[in-house]
Structure 1
Amino acid sequence: MSYEQLAIALCGYEHVVLPGLLQTEDYARATFRSNIPHLDEETVERRVAARLERQQILHKAEPVIASFVFSEAAVLSNLGGREVMRAQLSHLRSCAELDGVSIQILPLSREHHAGLNGPFVVLETPDHQHLAYTEAQRSSELISDPDEVSIQQ
């Protein structure tokens, strides 16, 4: 996450949930409450606060250039209930209007795409190093080898 705060550009793909940088507080809370094994409320609230803090990179005087692609399934889900999703979709529309933010929804009908192996983020540091980040429920990996990063792009 420290690289994310320094990034000048990032792009990513999510297939089940909406990207953390675009989540409302209630959607983030619903995401963490859906974790298995379950998290205690203190951990949920700590993670929600951290996720909301991360979003500041989209609102800086010189915000990160951010491109988000996510599956249509993430938009169609009912995570957190109807009201949470309604507010989340409204928030996505607001985020799409931020300087430097691009949002694309990948249709479920798409037969193949770069995200079939799962979610990923590729970011560019101020010294133009490209890093890839993959995350699963119990593990995550930061990839700095340029040959491996290029596979993620």
Structure 2
Amino acid sequence: MAVDPVASKFFQKHQAEEANAKCCDSVGSKAEWASVSHGIYISIEAAGVHRSLGVKRSFVLSTSLDSWKPEHLKMMQLGGNQRFHDFMSQHVPKDMPLRQKYLTRAAEWYRENLRAEAEGLEPPAPLKPGTGHLLLEKLCCRACPSPRFCSD
């Protein structure tokens, strides 16, 4: 696959920023992937977690191997690791497990708001104070051997 010169130039510029050079989810890991849904830069390890969430929650692309649509680059331009960290630190505990963090009301609101900004649409209603840390769905009980969701 040929390297997209527009995307390549875009990422050279945006990943020159210190916050975007390293993975948004893990300290010190090099960011070579992106969650377009959140406008953040992530490592290959974090990309695996994001992909397990499904494309509706986290659409993942490589910053160097994949083709990028203009609307995806716009979301990355509007997002960035620092903006995401600033928002999430107001709503979600820092020690929340990675998978759960992206299943919170705050993460959902952030995704919807970023998409609305990129597409020039009406933003979602403000997140109700004190509810950002709440999970969208009930996580599976501890007795289950897999990270699936409970159906009850």
What is the TM-score with the length of structure 2 in the denominator? 0.26
Query: Higher relative contact order at CA 8 Å, sep ≥6: structure 1 or structure 2?
Result: 1
Q: Whose strand fraction is larger, Structure 1's or Structure 2's?
A: 1
What is the TM-score with the length of structure 1 in the denominator? 0.26
